[in-house]
Chain A
Amino acid sequence: MLETLRKRVRNEQSAPDHPAMRAPENPWAKAFRRMLKNRGAALGLYVILFFALIGALADIVAPYDPIKPNFTALRQPPSAQHLFGTDKQGRDILSRIIHGARISMAVGFLSQGLTIFIGTVVGAIAGYYGGKVDTILMRITDSLYAFPTMLLLIIFMAAFGRGFINLLIAMSIAAWVGPARLVRSQVLQLKSQAFVEASHALGAPARHIILRHMLPNLIGSLMIFLSFGVPAAIMAEAGLSFLGIGLVPPTPSWGVMLNDGFAVLRALPHVVFFPSLVIIITMLAFMYLGDGLRDAFDPRSS
């Protein structure tokens, strides 16, 4: 298993170079290559890819069933059979963490994908059309922006009920304001630039201008947003599930595991220790990756 992972990592490592060599003018690839030169960022990326990979292959990689209780292996400390021990229902912690990687990554990327989608649409419309549309949309974003995100999430989770899809929707509704404001301000900036004005004068439709001229210029900012948004979403899932209002147990999410573990903090410390560790590692990985991305896309640096 490790061998294939290593190979996979090596492939990932070399992959970005090829398109970059073929198309050196592509600013994306350039930024990406620059980022990979940053050791911390590269390591962060590999860690994230590693979690994504084991998450994707969880059914194959995980040694045990993550959900089914095992009455013959209740409450075991870490051992050769169960590297991270078992919980009070006899479930293998390692297997649950592996399946949890899938859920955390899915929550992180899907929710932020949705967030960025909603945010970009709203921000682009507000910025491009301006006027009343802009005012109305921005009042709504201001209202949501003025409210602590965690509390907003709690309201929405109460309204929708717990569950994976509901969590994604709640997170997107609570967070789309960020990218919307970002996109709006950038669109406002771009609108006055010559190439956009020219395109407008030539009678290009709004959709065309937004999609072809403005969006590509927004990618950098959105990538950076993603690198901060995804870990925030993973953390929020863990937090909400820890409070008992995120995902429905026995879903093996890291937050649900923390929740399980906190209840047996003294008796079975390993139940809370390993998911905590994995969450911290993930957060570190995203942080270094995010820093690297920001430096790479920031034209002032290097």
Chain B
Amino acid sequence: MWQYIVRRVLQAIFTLFVLSLITFFVAKVTPGSPLGLDDPENAAKITPAMRKQLLEQYDLDKPVPVQYVLWFTKFIRGDLGLSLTYRNEHVQDILARTWPISAQLGLIAALLAISLGTLLGIVAAVYRNTFIDYASMFIAVIGVAVPSFVLAIGLILLFSLTLHWFPVTGWGTPERMVMPILVLMLGPLATTARFTRASMLEVIKQDYVRTARAKGLLERVVILRHVLKNALIPVITVAGPTLAGMLTGSVFVEQIFTIPGVANAFVGAIGGRDYPMIMAQTIIFGGLVIFMNLAVDVAYGIIDPRIRYS
């Protein structure tokens, strides 16, 4: 298995390298320039001499491949560079203040979504075709069908502006966290619930479950011992990417609730053509997703001994 992991990690590094190449060149062909150089309302301030000096200072006057090599050599030495938007701030520092926020939001929402979603799915499957099933699946359906930005708008209208329960903006204290977490978790919760229910029903049909029932075991025991264990294995496959997706922050949630997290920083970096920032975040986002996928594959193998790594 270690051999397998090492090979996957090496593959991941190469994948990230390709990703960084793609992002760098896409970002470079994007019209517009950093440092507000192309902003007409700003341009009156910038003299041609100043412009030249700034471009030189940030290596922006060099050919794009050279710029990539410069970025890359700095990167492997652990230097992410200076942000082109906040010129006296290092990309590391910006990431250090934005990541914890998004990670906190994502982690809470993901844990809630996965645990509640699984629970909802199990309950719906056990009590299939009863009112409980229909109610659970109704929640799940809503969760899938309502886009997060629509849900966010609805919640603001109801809980902030009408009932005055929760503030509209920000992050950090419990009452500020309720709505963003709700919005972020509902979609994955619904997906998890539907997936779990389907997986449960699949397992319940299996012969060994019928055998267990025929042996006269209590329904509860059948569900807990035989069904649950096998039904939850596939759920892990969705849980991993869900977690990764949520940790990278939600553009909509962060924009609407003005949460100073990574997704906002990423959007801002693209708008400001802040290349060092874009690159650093690309690597982190990509690395996170790849790591999660690897973790899922490994976990899968541990839980289900039938799986062989090759």
Contacts and interface: CB of A to CB of B under 8 A. Distances in A.
Nearest to A269: B157
Contacts of A146: 15-16, 19, 285-287, 289-290, 293
Contacts of A156: 26
Nearest to A284: B145
Interface stretch (A55-63, A83-91, A112-120, A272-280): A272-280
B249 to A, nearest CB: 9
A265 B158 CA distance: 11
B266 interface: yes
B147 A235 contact: yes
Contacts of A242: 149, 252
B78 to A, nearest CB: 21
A161 B30 CA distance: 9
Nearest to B290: A146
B27 interface: yes
B217 interface: no
Contact of A151 (B149, B156, B266): B266
Interface stretch (A135-143, A192-200, A217-225): A135-143
A239 B146 contact: no
B22 interface: yes
Nearest to A242: B149
A158 interface: yes
Query: Main SS of chain B's interface residues?
Result: helix
Contacts of A283: 144-147
A144 interface: yes
B153 A161 contact: no
B251 A154 contact: yes
Contacts of B271: 158
Contacts of B30: 155, 158-159
A266 interface: yes
Interface in B224-270: 245, 248, 251-252, 255, 263, 266-267, 270
A238 interface: yes
Nearest to B145: A283
Contact of A144 (B19, B141, B156, B278): B19
A258 interface: yes
B147 A279 contact: yes
B285 to A, nearest CB: 6
A216 interface: no
A294 B143 CA distance: 20
Contacts of B100: none
A23 interface: no
B10 to A, nearest CB: 12
B150 interface: yes
A262 interface: yes
Contacts of A238: 147, 149
B141 A287 contact: yes
User: Chain B, interface size: which category?
Assistant: 35 or more
A203 interface: no
Interface string A123-151: 00000000000000001101111111011
Contacts of B146: 280, 283
Contacts of A239: 147, 149, 251-252
Interface string A33-66: 0000000000000000000000000000000000
Query: Main SS of chain A's interface residues?
Result: helix
B293 to A, nearest CB: 8
Nearest to A300: B202
Contacts of A165: none
A131 B61 CA distance: 40
A148 B145 contact: no
Contacts of A248: none
B149 A158 contact: no
User: Chain A, interface size: which category?
Assistant: 35 or more
Contact of B282 (A140, A142, A147, A280): A147
A155 B150 contact: no
B204 to A, nearest CB: 14
A220 B255 CA distance: 38
A151 B147 contact: no
Contacts of A21: none
A242 B151 CA distance: 13
A279 B150 contact: yes
Contacts of B149: 238-239, 242, 258
Interface string B159-187: 00100000000000000000000000000
B270 A243 contact: no
Contact of B285 (A147, A158, A159, A279): A147
Contacts of B86: none
Nearest to B291: A146
A143 B29 contact: no
A287 B267 contact: no
B154 interface: yes
30 contacts: A139-B14, A142-B290, A143-B286, A144-B19, A145-B289, A146-B285, A146-B286, A146-B289, A146-B290, A147-B286, A147-B289, A148-B248, A151-B248, A151-B266, A151-B285, A154-B270, A155-B23, A158-B30, A158-B270, A158-B271, A159-B31, A235-B147, A239-B251, A243-B252, A258-B149, A265-B157, A280-B150, A283-B147, A284-B145, A287-B144
The 5 A-B residue pairs with the shortest CB-CB distance in the complex, in nearest-first order: A143-B19, A283-B145, A159-B30, A143-B18, A146-B286
Interface of B: 11, 14-16, 18-19, 22-23, 26-27, 29-31, 141, 144-147, 149-150, 153-154, 156-157, 161, 245, 248, 251-252, 255, 263, 266-267, 270-271, 278, 282, 285-287, 289-290, 293
Given A146-B287, A280-B146, 9 more contacts: A143-B19, A148-B289, A151-B248, A155-B27, A239-B149, A243-B252, A243-B255, A279-B147, A279-B150
